[in-house]
Amino acid sequence: MRVSGFLAAWFFLSMFLLVGPSAYALDNASKLEEIVVTATRTEKEVEGAPGAVSVVTQAEFSYRNVQKPDDIVVELPGVTVLRYPNSMGARITLRGFPDQKRTLVLLDGITLNDPYSGAVLFDGFYPEDLDRVEVVRGPLSNLYGGYAMGGVVHFITRMPEKREITAKAGYGSGFESGDAYDDLSRFYFSYGDKLGEQFSFLVRYAFQESNGYPTAFNVTTKPPPSEITGWQKTKTRTGDPAYLLGDLGDNTQWNDGILGKIQYRLTPETIFGFSFTRSRTEYDYDTPHTYLRDSLGNPVWSYKGRPENTFLPGGGGKVCNTYAFNVESPLVGELKTKAHVSFMDTEKSWYVNTFSGATRSGGAGSVSDTPSSNFLADIQFTFPFTHAPVPGLEQHFVTFGGAFNRAYAHSTEKNLPNWKKEEQTTSLRYESKGKDRGWALFFQDEIPLGSKVVAYVGARYDNWQTFDGFVLDIDSKTGNPKDGFPKKYGTRSHGTLSPKGALVYQPFPQTTLRSTVGKSFRPPTVYDLYRTWVASSGITYAANPELKPETALSWDLGWRQELWNGAAFSITYFENYLKDMIYRKTVSPTLQEHVNVGKAESRGVEAEIEQKMSAWLTLYGNLTYTDSEVTKNEAKPESEGKRLNNLPLWQGNVGARATKGPVRASVSGRYVGKRYNYDTNADKQNHVYGSYDPFWVTDVKVDYALRPWATVSLAVDNLFDRDYYLYYKAPGRSFYMELTMKF
């Protein structure tokens, strides 16, 4: 569907909801207030929160075919999700800030952004564990420090209120073999209980695997020799002529995970909690397919200038453990505290490369592995008090506290005599590592300015320090360090202040106006600082241990209106101004390095509407417009005036969900506009391998309750079998069937 078609559909839905008959209005008693904690670190009604907030409960996202945590937020305004079909994770970005490292992702307060690159592993975590997801758009470094430039996505797990057993088993596949995830199987089991009024626990094991489908292709810009046939003409993502030689095989993948969570309530207000999760995920490719044939019709896997290993991408995987301990308790009088300690330990994060002599049966390659860890300790205090000296400012609510973190990442690349056996490594090819740590103090004052206006004023100071940087690059021919290696880097620190102010005005119970302005930052990752490497082309991609944090100044203005019982509309305008963005600068034909040289701006509108037509039917729609622009880039001046990477100009969703007796059903349509992967926006070609196409997909799901404790469901994704690429080939039409039993 073209953009104009989507805009027309969204417009007519909005008009229908806005002028629709109020005869379908629900009773006031059916409305429940939504509570959010991420926006202020304390419980707050969504309508009064200082910022644009979305809360998605399990009761809402279970209407859709949600299999991974990022599936939950894909339909929210201001949220951009990019999941590569052959990868272990996804990118969730907010408010026109590109890349995952500029949006903070939490799981029960645990930072999931890894210290190496800021990426997030979502595979191995399961939506069934969750009570709700809170998404707060806008700058939040004033409360959460680095990464929270675009906002925070917070996944919050549930805790049983009584004995419960949940078992789920499902199977799905593409309607056509090789067009979507074939033979997708999924299993989930959890058991939880609440013993008396004090102790509760939840344990879970889940597993998912698929035989995959061809997502990656062998494409070259030089035509094969004249005696070879079978290749197909195509184009590069910049529109130049190219030649399709084959595909790299079905992209198989699996993941599993365990969760253990306990909670002890010493008193009604004093709670201790502990959780442990372990996630494992792997992806690989089965037998590749060549389209090439010689004069006798025999398959051709290589020719001069195009070795067989171009059909052999190699697989990868990740193993991660997280530990968390938290306590909340009153201290003296009305002073309350929350303390949180977490540790994320990535045991392995590896991928395999093949060398030019490699074949389908074996041959040389290498395996890269980056174990990492992140320790976080956080404490906050909250205190309401009477402000006597100034009339009209009787009641403040103060939140203050501090945080400490320490992170580590260590990358190695080792030779493999046989690329198919990644555990049988030999000599070292490359090594880099580094550490960072930081401490922070934060303060926020919630100030009522009369009965209808609340002001929020606060700031956070972060002191970030990097140290123990090390890089070693080995000459593959001699086995000795290359000239200039090893390199060691000393300690360096940087302080950043992140202030923020907000006003929330509720002139009427059904109307909320809000505005926020704040500064945010992102410290450079270990990859930015220390990942120097030399490509086979001879180009050195140099780290820069002198990098400083990126910063942004952001503001927004929003309006939320409850139109009548069961209907609500909201719209927000926002602007962001980024400074010191990190880019690779071409120093010479053989040297590129990271530098702080970029400036960028983004501005846009988020609009959302929902109508409960009756007790059993809800319609909704949202639209996001994000205009982004690189305004300064000394490293690559030709990118100035171009849009930021992977940010569509338009995106939006329309849908309906219904419950009638034993049947629940949903239908949703999602549009995402054109995205660019090149800073220069030169990748304008659509519908080719490597392009980021605009697309519209429609998904449907139907549940039927066989018994109060047993439900069967059928979901169809990409109902109209839209063909598009998100660099890799996106999945076509597929189905998924599932049986759920809850006791």
How do strand 52-57 and strand 164-174 relate by DSSP bridges?
unpaired
Q: Are 51 and 516 in contact (CB under 8 A)?
A: yes
Beta-sheet strand order (sheet of 110-111): 52-57, 130-137, 151-157, 104-107, 110-111
Give tens-digit pLDDT for 416-461.
999 999 999 999 999 999 999 999 999 999 999 888 999 999 999 9
Look at 476 and 192; give whichever has higher pLDDT: 192
Look at 523 and 539; give whichever has higher pLDDT: 523
State which residues form the domain around 679: 3-742
- Predicted confidence at residue 681, as pLDDT, reads 95
Give tens-digit pLDDT for 554-608.
999 999 999 887 899 999 999 999 999 998 888 888 888 889 988 999 999 999 9
- Predicted confidence at residue 389, as pLDDT, reads 57
CATH of the domain at 448: 2.40.170.20
What Cα–Cα distance (Å) separates residue 344 from each residue in 64, 130, 277, 371? 30, 19, 9, 11
Q: What percent of the chain has pLDDT over 90?
A: 79
Q: How confident is the model at residue 87 (pLDDT cuts 50, 70, 90)?
A: low
Q: 3-state SS string over 527-564?
A: HHHHCCEECCCCCEEECCCCCCCEEEEEEEEEEEEEEE
What is the arithmetic mean of pLDDT over 59-64?
Answer: 93
What Cα–Cα distance (Å) separates residue 561 from each residue in 10, 15, 19, 383, 511? 18, 15, 14, 31, 5
Give tens-digit pLDDT for 132-156.
999 999 999 999 999 999 999 999 9
Q: How confident is the model at residue 11 (pLDDT cuts 50, 70, 90)?
A: very low
Q: How confident is the model at residue 548 (pLDDT cuts 50, 70, 90)?
A: very high
Query: Per the omega criterion (within 30 degrees of 0), is the bond before 486 cis?
Result: yes
**Is residue 33 predicted with pLDDT exceeding 70?**
no
Q: Are 728 and 249 in contact (CB under 8 A)?
A: no
**Is residue 632 predicted with pLDDT exceeding 70?**
yes
Provide the number of structural domains found in the chain: 1
Give tens-digit pLDDT for 362-421.
999 999 999 999 999 999 999 987 654 555 455 789 999 999 999 999 999 999 999 999
Give CA torsion, residues 349, 82, 115, 128, to 10 deg: -80
